[in-house]
Structure 1
Amino acid sequence: MHPSTSYSESRKWVAVLIFVIRCLPFCRSDPRISEAGLFCGDLRVSPNSSYIPLFVKEMEVLSQLVTAHDWARYVVNSTNISIFSLAQCYGDLSHNDCLQCYAASRTRLPRCLPSVAGRIFLDGCFLRYDDYKFYNESVDPVRDKLNCNSTIEGVDSGGVDLDFGKKVEELVDGVANSAAAGGGHAAAEVRGVFGLAECWKTVSVDGCKTCLGKASEEVKTCFPSKEGRALNAGCYLRYSTHKFFSNPADEKRHGSGVSRVGKSMAIAWSAIAFCMLSLFACYAAYARWNKRKQERNNLGQISFSYNKSNLQFKYEILEKATNYFDPSRKLGQGGAGSVYRGTLSNGKTVAVKRLLFSTRQWVDEFFNEVNLISGIEHKNLVKLLGCSIEGPESLLVYEFVPRGSLDQYLFTRNRIKILNWKERHNIIVGTAEGIAFLHGGCEFRIIHRDIKSSNVLLDENLDPKVADFGLVRCFAADQTHLSTGIAGTLGYMAPEYLVKGQLTEKVDVYSFGVLVLEIVCGRKNNSVKEDFGSLIQTVWKLYKAHRLTDSVDPCLEGHFPALETSKLLKTGLLCVQASATLRPSMSEVVRMLTDENHDIPEPNQPPFLSTSTVSSGSARSSYSFTSNAVRKFEEFDPSTDSFGMLSSSEQLESEELTQKQVQGFHDSNTEARS
Structure 2
Amino acid sequence: MYSLTKTTQFQNAVVLYSLCFIPFSYSSSDPRTAVAGLYCGKRNNSSADPNYIPTFVDDMQSLSLKLTTRRFATQSINSTPSVFAMVQCHNDLSPSDCQLCYAIARTRLPRCLPSSSARIFLDGCFLRYETYEFYGESISAASDRYSCSNDTVLDPQFGFRVSETAARAAVRRGGFGVAGESGVHALAQCWESLGREECRVCLEKAVGEVKRCVSRREGRAMNSGCFLRYSDHKFYNNDRHGIHNKGVIVAIVLTMSAFVMLVLLATYVIIVKVSKTKQEKRNLGLVSKKFKNSKTKFKYETLEKATDYFSPKKTLGQGGNGTVFLGVLPNGKNVAVKRLVFNTREWVEEFFNEVNLISGIQHKNLVKLLGCSIEGPESLLVYEYVANKSLDNFLFDESKSKVLNWCVRLNIILGAAEGLAYLHGGDGSPVRIIHRDIKTSNVLLDDQLNPKIADFGLARCLGLDKTHLSTGIAGTLGYMAPEYVVRGQLTEKADVYSYGVLVLEIACGTRNNVFVPGAGHLLQRVWNLYRLNRLVEALDPCLKEELLQAQCSEAEACKVLCVGLLCAQASPSLRPSMEEVILMLTERDYPIPSPTNPPFLRISSLTTDQECSSSISCSTNSTTMVKTDQASYTSSETSTTHRRN
- The TM-score normalised by the length of structure 2 is 0.57
Say yes or no: does 1:605 pair with 2:579: no
> Match for residue 610 of structure 2?
635
Q: Check whether the contact 2:169–2:178 (CA below 8 A) recurs between aligned residues.
A: no
Say yes or no: does 1:527 pair with 2:483: no
> Match for residue 179 of structure 1?
none
> Match for residue 493 of structure 1?
480
| Aligned CA distance change for structure 1 residues 88 and 332 (closer, same or farther; 3 Å) | farther
Matches within 5 A, 1:218-229: 226=200
Instruction: Report how far residue 555 of structure 1 moved.
Output: 1.9
| Aligned CA distance change for structure 1 residues 597 and 344 (closer, same or farther; 3 Å) | same
Instruction: State the Cα deviation string for residues 241-298 of structure 1 (Å, max 9, x = none).
Output: 97446989789xxxxxxxxxxxxxxxxxxxxxxxxxxxxxxxxxxxxx9xx99x97x9
Q: Check whether the contact 2:482–2:618 (CA below 8 A) recurs between aligned residues.
A: no
Q: State the alpha-carbon separation in 2 of the partners of residues 224 and 93 from structure 1.
A: 25
Q: State the alpha-carbon separation in 2 of the partners of residues 240 and 334 from structure 1.
A: 50
Q: CA RMSD in A?
A: 5.5
Q: Which amino acid aligns with 2:187?
A: F
> Match for residue 543 of structure 1?
530
Instruction: Report how far residue 226 of structure 1 moved.
Output: 3.4
> Match for residue 394 of structure 1?
379
Instruction: Report how far residue 547 of structure 1 moved.
Output: 0.6
Say yes or no: does 1:30 pair with 2:37: yes
Q: Which amino acid aligns with 1:487?
A: A
Instruction: Report how far residue 373 of structure 1 moved.
Output: 2.6
Q: State the alpha-carbon separation in 1 of the partners of residues 225 and 562 from structure 2.
A: 80
Instruction: State the Cα deviation string for residues 466-494 of structure 1 (Å, max 9, x = none).
Output: 11134755567964789999931111011
> Match for residue 126 of structure 2?
124
Instruction: Report how far residue 559 of structure 1 moved.
Output: 1.4
SS of 2:588 mapped into structure 1:
coil
Q: Which amino acid aligns with 1:516?
A: V
> Match for residue 662 of structure 1?
617
Instruction: State the Cα deviation string for residues 539-577 of structure 1 (Å, max 9, x = none).
Output: 111111111100011122431221101110010011011
Say yes or no: does 1:563 pair with 2:547: no
Instruction: Report how far residue 320 of structure 1 moved.
Output: 3.7
Q: Check whether the contact 2:186–2:228 (CA below 8 A) recurs between aligned residues.
A: no
Instruction: Report how far residue 106 of structure 1 moved.
Output: 13
> Match for residue 384 of structure 1?
369
Q: Check whether the contact 1:89–1:124 (CA below 8 A) recurs between aligned residues.
A: no
Instruction: Report how far residue 456 of structure 1 moved.
Output: 0.5
- The TM-score normalised by the length of structure 1 is 0.55
> Match for residue 340 of structure 1?
325
| Aligned CA distance change for structure 1 residues 227 and 438 (closer, same or farther; 3 Å) | closer
Instruction: Report how far residue 382 of structure 1 moved.
Output: 0.6
Q: State the alpha-carbon separation in 2 of the partners of residues 30 and 246 from structure 1.
A: 15
Q: Check whether the contact 1:167–1:190 (CA below 8 A) recurs between aligned residues.
A: no
Q: Check whether the contact 1:89–1:126 (CA below 8 A) recurs between aligned residues.
A: no
Q: Check whether the contact 1:512–1:572 (CA below 8 A) recurs between aligned residues.
A: yes
Q: Check whether the contact 1:406–1:457 (CA below 8 A) recurs between aligned residues.
A: yes
Matches within 5 A, 1:24-423: 29-31=36-38, 90=98, 97-101=105-109, 123-124=125-126, 167-168=169-170, 189-190=179-180, 194-195=187-188, 226=200, 243-244=227-228, 303=288, 306-334=291-319, 337-355=322-340, 358-359=343-344, 363=348, 366=351, 370-371=355-356, 373-412=358-397, 415=400, 417-423=402-408
Q: Check whether the contact 1:431–1:465 (CA below 8 A) recurs between aligned residues.
A: yes
Equivalent of 1:446, from 433, 448, 455? 433
Q: State the alpha-carbon separation in 2 of the partners of residues 148 and 516 from structure 1.
A: 59
Instruction: State the Cα deviation string for residues 422-444 of structure 1 (Å, max 9, x = none).
Output: 11111111111111111123100
Instruction: Report how far residue 346 of structure 1 moved.
Output: 2.9
| Aligned CA distance change for structure 1 residues 57 and 592 (closer, same or farther; 3 Å) | same
Q: State the alpha-carbon separation in 1 of the partners of residues 55 and 470 from structure 2.
A: 47
Higher relative contact order (CA 8 A, sep 6+): 2
Q: Check whether the contact 2:369–2:382 (CA below 8 A) recurs between aligned residues.
A: yes
Say yes or no: does 1:580 pair with 2:582: no
Contiguous gaps of at least 5 residues in structure 1: 1-6, 12-26, 35-53, 66-70, 72-85, 109-121, 128-146, 152-161, 176-186, 199-217, 230-238, 252-288, 610-624, 644-657
| Aligned CA distance change for structure 1 residues 244 and 92 (closer, same or farther; 3 Å) | farther
| Aligned CA distance change for structure 1 residues 426 and 475 (closer, same or farther; 3 Å) | closer
SS of 2:381 mapped into structure 1:
strand
Q: State the alpha-carbon separation in 1 of the partners of residues 165 and 287 from structure 2.
A: 80
Q: Which amino acid aligns with 1:315?
A: Y
| Aligned residues with identical type, % of pairs | 46
SS of 1:600 mapped into structure 2:
coil
> Match for residue 427 of structure 1?
412
Instruction: Report how far residue 579 of structure 1 moved.
Output: 1.0
Instruction: Report how far residue 635 of structure 1 moved.
Output: 2.8
| Aligned CA distance change for structure 1 residues 605 and 166 (closer, same or farther; 3 Å) | closer
Contiguous gaps of at least 5 residues in structure 2: 8-33, 42-53, 66-70, 72-86, 88-94, 117-123, 130-134, 140-163, 204-222, 236-274, 548-552, 629-639
Equivalent of 2:588, from 596, 601, 605? 596
Q: Check whether the contact 1:473–1:483 (CA below 8 A) recurs between aligned residues.
A: no
